[in-house]
Copies of this chain bind each other. A is one copy, B any other.
Amino acid sequence: MNISSRFAVAIHILSVLEMNKAGISTSDYIAESVNTNPVVIRRIVGMLSKAGLVEVKPGVAGAKLAKHPAEITLLDIYHAVHVVQEDSLFSIHENSDAKCPVGKHIQTAIVPVFSAAQKAMENTLHEVSLEEIIRNIYASANGTLNEN
């Protein structure tokens, strides 16, 4: 089990919006770069829009970033696309037997640890901005220029 590729695709989309900000990024255009269906793009863009990360209007072609890339963290994107519902990365087995001491208290015992682990992961995402990702893309592109 792993985290939905929506997250990676969302980062991809936002990177396209920034790097193509001189042009018009329609869902068809983005879909080509991501290599998927335009509806998939529109779905994710819709989520990013609801989260206030992009601006898009029905009928008018193209989406734009709603903020500067430095002000968008990967955690913002992560939350926007709902890769994890209700902030519970780990699922706990409900309905343990309350007659057993382990069953009765296991939940209380592990929830704080799961929460800490999730927070540690999210903190890492919080420390990285879209701008840094885009810098990485440019760096990677420069590093492979002679390959092209």
- Name A residues whose Cβ lies closer than 8 Å to a Cβ of B: 1-5, 7-9, 11-12, 15-16, 19, 32-36, 74, 83-85, 88-93, 95-97, 100-106, 108-110, 112-114, 116-118, 120-125, 128, 133-134, 136-137, 139-141, 144
Quick check: A92 and B137 within 8 Å, CB to CB? no
Quick check: B92 and A5 within 8 Å, CB to CB? yes
Residues of B within 8 A of A85 (CB): 1-2
Measured CB to CB, the closest approach of chain B to A67, in angstroms, equals 19
A105–B91 CA distance with the chains assembled, in angstroms: 34
* Copies of this chain in its oligomeric complex: 2
Interface of A is mostly: helix
